[in-house]
Structure 1
């Protein structure tokens, strides 16, 4: 079976991967955010005494961020989260690719991403190549146009190797592996990039494998019908943007990764931590991110980019909540309005008791990365927080959602004291 001929399951539901057959597509459209509308604007946040809020068992004081790092992959994940800031989101090189399907950190020692398993993204042969050339860290984003009849999709990854030479060797081996899996592939020159070829067999699905310094760009582009001119134009734009981003990238030496600040400006101590024994989806994403890195997790990435720029967002923290730092309190209120805006068919619900300025809603379509089915958005000072619940809406409203939102508010309030 050739790589990409069948859909791959992730987290118990179908996900668009390297190619989804059109006859299966109606079952795949589970994660789009739909058309956005304006949320209810707030002119100022009414300060609330944290002691009056119902916070359940959750922590209400700022907590020192001290991750338990015991394995090499946890060290490399620190660098991978930083690399998300260099990975170009698909909607930047193709404006139609707005629908978020997946975000992953790539670890060559993890069997889950490779092979024929339910969670697989890459063929097993890719794992051998990455291990042979000592992959340090990788990041992956998948976005589509959420169309049943005219599917477009990009599976775009950035891999980091120990040296320029290792990256070139890995790219050559990945390219050779692709040819072994797909003998009918032919190379088409990418406009504006001498010596770079886009590998395709039918003109509708194809691959880029390009080394740049210690990095390898590994990308699959797919469109519903063959159009070599159009897809080469997208490939050219992709590489223009990705190479420009890599030109400003810094590479952290392996033995200095743990010297990187894990809690810059105390942003993580302001973020609700998961309680011991409590399941947290996407644990590898826990940490401080640049705004550019956070864009990969936003359902409407293009709108979020504009909102971040308008609000002066300069730092984001992900833990059991996501906290954004804006330029000032008024900027935070503008960001709150955008992040609280419901997507089509979302159901707005009451805010937590005592937090009248918070905005909560049940999502019509589950978030494909966090698996949130409902969220609350709140603001305090220059910070905006998004708190969610993975409990299915069929089980009713998760009481922990309101408790976690209240606890997050309390943490923000007390971190300013």
Structure 2
């Protein structure tokens, strides 16, 4: 999965920051920020003529209208493994589809031939405690025109390859969504896979559900049927950006939040780099259902991701509530223990996980399977940092505090 480097920054850049009204007893003199910036970088402009940037920003907009699997089945809340992290991400290029194996290879070739422009993909699985193993993935691909999406959908239905050596059954319309064509696999591991493919305006919708067979619980065809209904309604509410307006899409709709979000020393970031609406950001959260409730209570109106994640709440009280909620979610994870906090920053809480990945792993993998993670808040902002090195995570937290607090 490609990572778009939106801007290159160094620790010498300066910018404006608003003095925090609530510093939680912070003492800047005690903070260790390492080599990280302690002031905001320059503001971001529009996407301009860079097609990759245009695709990123349209993917961010599309994500808000992509139905999360948990909206179809309340049990589908767990993020996939690190190896499947690319299946929860913006799609910027055809190469992203290939590297992430987001859809089967023959279907990627069809999308490329039809001129796919980008899109968004999301995936969740049911936690083991649910009792019935199941997963649901939705991929939305954007094409130049409705006829391109319709042609790609028709071609894909005929090209879906076997899975685990099992070919799909004959194409059938989905029960309550006759515009969606479904293909069913009865797999040798006692599970059923159903793939649904449809076109809606200039978009192609690919949905894949896999469910462990059983007498109780749900079924793969019911998941695809439910997801299809919700996704069709959601896409009908989405207004794609006209081609001649893509260059004007702002890289930071808030105007300043991205510039005030800490960046890595080499300018790299995970695939969800950028500013997202709260609804769109839920695709990347540990518990999207619980976090959606936290967002509502806290009045979150934007989430920014560079190296750290910054949540912009309605006020300082909302930021505190959000930080407390995120901290509780992390503390409840298995193999996770609370560790020493950040010197000079008593409002921060840090954790260490026994299941974390090393620093050599892709950053997007480390973000979900971290060694160290911290949560903090200042004024109307909640922020988190992750790293394979606990010392580095604490330095990030100190630097991010100083950027947001203007200290």
Counterpart of 1:307 in structure 2 is 294
Structure 1 residue 268: Cα displacement:
0.7
Counterpart of 2:242 in structure 1 is 253
Pick aligned residue for 2:185 from 201, 210, 228: 201
> Deviation digits for residues 162-188 of structure 1, max 9, x if unmatched?
111111111111111116887542234
> Deviation digits for residues 264-303 of structure 1, max 9, x if unmatched?
331112210122x3653x2x42111011111011111111
> Deviation digits for residues 123-171 of structure 1, max 9, x if unmatched?
3322221111111112111211133974211121111111111111111
Structure 1 residue 45: Cα displacement:
5.3
Compared with structure 1, are the counterparts of its residues 326 and 229 closer, same or farther at alpha carbon in structure 2 (3 Å cutoff)?
closer
Pick aligned residue for 1:106 from 76, 86, 91: 91
CA distance in 1, matches of 2:136, 2:347: 38
Structure 1 residue 236: Cα displacement:
2.4
> Deviation digits for residues 238-266 of structure 1, max 9, x if unmatched?
12221222122120123422311212331
Counterpart of 1:72 in structure 2 is 51
CA distance in 2, matches of 1:388, 1:56: 15
Counterpart of 1:26 in structure 2 is none
Contact (CA 8 Å) 1:108, 1:131: kept in 2 or not? no
Compared with structure 1, are the counterparts of its residues 66 and 57 closer, same or farther at alpha carbon in structure 2 (3 Å cutoff)?
same
Structure 1 residue 232: Cα displacement:
3.0
Matches within 5 A, 1:63-212: 63-66=41-44, 72-101=51-80, 102=85, 103-110=88-95, 113-114=97-98, 119-147=100-128, 150-178=132-160, 183-202=167-186, 204-212=192-200
Counterpart of 2:38 in structure 1 is 60
Contact (CA 8 Å) 1:179, 1:185: kept in 2 or not? no
Q: TM-score, normalised by structure 2?
A: 0.81
Structure 1 residue 365: Cα displacement:
4.1
CA distance in 1, matches of 2:225, 2:365: 28
- Can you give the 5+ residue segments of structure 2 that lack an aligned partner in the other structure? 2-21, 357-363
> Deviation digits for residues 44-94 of structure 1, max 9, x if unmatched?
752425354221111000111448988533431221122211111111101
> Deviation digits for residues 358-391 of structure 1, max 9, x if unmatched?
11111354485724321111111111001110x1
Pick aligned residue for 1:48 from 26, 30, 33: 26
CA distance in 1, matches of 2:199, 2:71: 21
Contact (CA 8 Å) 1:171, 1:211: kept in 2 or not? yes
Q: TM-score, normalised by structure 1?
A: 0.79
Matches within 5 A, 1:281-292: 282=270, 284-292=271-279
Counterpart of 1:322 in structure 2 is 309
SS at match of 1:205: strand
CA distance in 2, matches of 1:184, 1:413: 57
Compared with structure 1, are the counterparts of its residues 226 and 188 closer, same or farther at alpha carbon in structure 2 (3 Å cutoff)?
farther
CA distance in 1, matches of 2:142, 2:180: 19
Contact (CA 8 Å) 2:27, 2:345: kept in 1 or not? no
CA distance in 1, matches of 2:24, 2:349: 14
SS at match of 1:357: coil
CA distance in 2, matches of 1:175, 1:109: 19
SS at match of 1:186: coil
Contact (CA 8 Å) 1:204, 1:226: kept in 2 or not? no
Compared with structure 1, are the counterparts of its residues 362 and 209 closer, same or farther at alpha carbon in structure 2 (3 Å cutoff)?
same
Counterpart of 2:10 in structure 1 is none
- Can you give the 5+ residue segments of structure 1 that lack an aligned partner in the other structure? 1-9, 11-43, 392-396
SS at match of 1:387: strand
CA distance in 1, matches of 2:250, 2:353: 34
- Size of the aligned set, in residue pairs, is 361
RMSD of equivalent CA atoms: 2.8
Q: Which moved more, 1:284-293 or 1:201-210?
A: 201-210
Structure 1 residue 329: Cα displacement:
1.0
CA distance in 1, matches of 2:197, 2:111: 13
